[in-house]
Amino acid sequence: MSKLHVVSNRAPIEVETRDDGGRSIRPTVGGLASALDDAIRRRSGTWIAWTGSPDTLLPDETGLDYPITSVHLSDVEIAHYYSGFSNQVLWPLCHMFLDRCRFQPEFWAAYESANQRFAETVEAVAEPGDLVWINDFHLCLVPGLLRRRTRDLRLGVFWHTPFPPPPIFGVLRWREPVLEGLLGADVIGLQTNDDVRNFLDCCHQFLGHHVGEDPARVVVGDREVRVVALPVGIDTAAFERRAASDDILRQRDRLRATLGAEVVLMGVDRLDYTKGIPERLLGYERFLERHPRWRPRCTFVQLVVPSRDQVEDYREMKRRIDEIVGRIMGTYTVDGHSPIVYLYTALDQERLTAYYGAADTALVTPMRDGMNLVAKEYVACHAAAGDGVLILSEFAGAARGMREAVLVNPYDPEAIGRAIEEAVDMPHGERARRMHALAVRVRTHDIHWWTDAFLSLLAEPMATVPGPAVEAALAWP
C-alpha cells in the first residue's frame, strides 16, 4: 500500500513554549484531524504542516503513530502568507466579500515563497508512488510545484471553502497561477456541485482549458484532472455516543434548568464576518418584537469563539454584536428572565455537546460557507431522540444535502424571524420526520465515508466516485 502524506497549513497538534524553555504538545480536537490521522496510520505516512517548531515532531513526543514534518516559515512569511494572502485575499474572495480583499503584492510574494517551502518539504519525504493529500486554499501552488518536479506522485487537493464563479474569482490579479497550481493535482475535491461548476468555468474562461462532465474533469496537456464534489462529514458515531452518555445528559439537564426557558435556541460560530451573527441576532429581535407571548418562554444562546481579536474589522464586528445583544436584553427581559445568553469563549467537545443537546433549535445562518459542520454536529446530537429543528442558511454548502432543515436567506433578518416562528411552532411529528431524514444522511455520509471516497480516487485513477450522484443521494436518501 502506498504511503500517504497529508499536507496542511496547520498540524493536528498544538505546540506551546513553556516558561522554562521547554515545550508542551497537545492534539487538536476535530473530526477532520481524527479521520486523516486514521488514514495516515493505515498507510504509514506523515503529516506535513507549519507547527511553529523547527524540528520534525516524532511519535514519542506527540503521541501520534507517525511523524509530523515541520515546514519552516519566518514570522514575516506567516504574517503575509497566512494572515495576508490566505485570510485577506482568498478567504474573502471565496466567500464573495470583495470589499474585504486586500490585493497587496507583498502578500502574494510571501504566498509564493511559503508554498515553495511546503513543496520542497513534501519532495524531501515522499517516495515514488506515494499519495499526497493537500488541504485547502493556503496551498494552491503546491500541486503545480510538485508536478513540475516529479510525475511519480499521486497528488490530490481538497478545497474546503466555497469556490467562487468567474465574475468573482476573475477579480484576483493572480488568478492564472492559482488555477495552474491547483491543476497540478490528479484529483481536486470540492464541497458541492456548484463549486465544481464554478471551478470548471474558471479553468475554461481564464486558462482556455477544455473541461468535461460525467465525470467532471479538466484537460491539461496530456493529463486529465478529475474534479469531484465530496461534501465533508463529521464523526457522527462519536457525537452520538457522547450525546447519549450519562455525564452529558446530566450537563444538558442542568443547562436547561439554569436557562429556565421552555424553548432554547442556539448559535455556534467563530467570530468571522462570513457567519452572519449580527443578522441572526436581528432576526431573533424581530421574532421577539412580533411575538410577545414567546418573550418569557424563549432563550437564545449565542456562542462566539474568539478569532483574530487583533484585527480592527473583527473588533468592530464584536462591538456590533455586543450592542445588539445588550439591546435585546434591555428591551425584552421579562421578570428577571433574559431572552438571550451571550458566551464569548471556546468550549470543549463535551461542554459543546451538552449545549447542542439542550437546544430545541439551532440557527446556522452563515452568509456563505463551504459546508458548515455545526449543522451536522447538532443533528448528530439529536439523532437518537429524533427531536430538534435546524434553521440553516441556504448559502451554506450543507444546505445541498439537508433539505429538511428550515432553509433561510441569512441576509434577511425578517426571514430569520419567520423561520424561528416556524421552528418553535412546529408540531412534534414534523420535527421528528425532518430530524430522522437528516440523521440518516449525516450517519451515512460521515467523515470516514468522505476520507475513504477521496482516497479511493487518489489511489486508483479509474476509481468511480460519482459527482452529481453524491449530492443526489445526500438530498434524497
- Going from the first residue of the chain to its last (477 residues), give the mean pLDDT of each consecutive group of 10, the final group possibly shorter: 91 78 73 76 90 82 88 91 95 96 97 96 94 96 94 94 98 98 98 97 98 94 95 94 97 96 97 97 98 96 88 89 97 94 94 97 97 96 95 97 97 98 97 97 94 92 48 39
How large is the greatest C-alpha to C-alpha distance in the chain, in angstroms? 73
pTM: 0.93
Say if residue 365 is in the same domain as residue 320.
yes
Tally the domains of the chain: 2
**In this predicted structure, what is the pLDDT of residue 470?**
46
Cross-strand pairs, 13: 27
> What whole-number distance in Å separates Cα of residue 6 and Cα of residue 332?
50
Residues 357 and 326 in one domain: yes
Cα–Cα distance, 244 to 383 (Å, whole number): 10
Alpha carbon 360 to its chain centroid, in Å, reads 23
- Which domain, by its residues, includes 309? 236-443
Residue 44: how many other CB atoms lie within 10 Å: 12
What pLDDT does 472 receive?
41
Write out the E strands in 174-296: 187-190, 211-212, 217-220, 223-229, 263-270
- Between strands 389-393 and 223-229, the pairing is unpaired
* Contact between residue 5 and residue 44 where contact means Cβ atoms under 8 Å apart: no
Q: Nearest 5 degrees, angle CA 36-CA 39-CA 40?
A: 90
Whole-angstrom CA distances from 321 to 254, 276, 313, 401 are 27, 10, 13, 30
Let me know whether 114 and 255 are in one domain. Answer: no
The whole-angstrom separation of Cα 202 and Cα 196 is: 10
Predicted local distance difference test score (pLDDT) of residue 29: 63
Tell me: do 322 and 436 sit in the same domain. yes
Q: Which three cell numbers stand for residue 314?
A: 473583527
Residues 404, 459 share a domain = no
* Residue 245 and residue 344 in one domain: yes
Helices (H) and strands (E) in the chain, counts: 19, 17
**What is the Cα–Cα distance from 453 to 472, expressed in whole angstroms?**
16
CA distance 365 to 396: 8
Catalytic residues: 160, 369
Residues 172 and 287 in one domain: no
- Are 273 and 134 contained in the same domain? no
- Tell me, what's the pLDDT at 473? 41
Sheet of 340-344: strand order equals: 340-344, 298-305, 263-270, 361-364, 389-393, 406-408
How many CB atoms lie under 10 A from the CB of residue 106?
Answer: 12
Are 395 and 460 found together in one domain?
no
Same domain membership, residue 328 and residue 310: yes
pLDDT at 469: 41
- Return d(Cα 343, Cα 213) in angstroms, integer: 46
- The CATH code of the domain that includes 127 is 3.40.50.2000
Q: Please give the pLDDT value at position 467.
A: 45
DSSP percent split of the chain into helix, strand, coil, nearest 5 = 50, 20, 30
Residue among 453, 460, 470 at smallest CA distance from 39: 453
Question: Does one domain contain both 97 and 157?
Answer: yes
Looking at the structure, do residues 194 and 105 belong to the same domain, yes or no? yes
Question: How many CB atoms lie under 10 A from the CB of residue 221?
Answer: 7
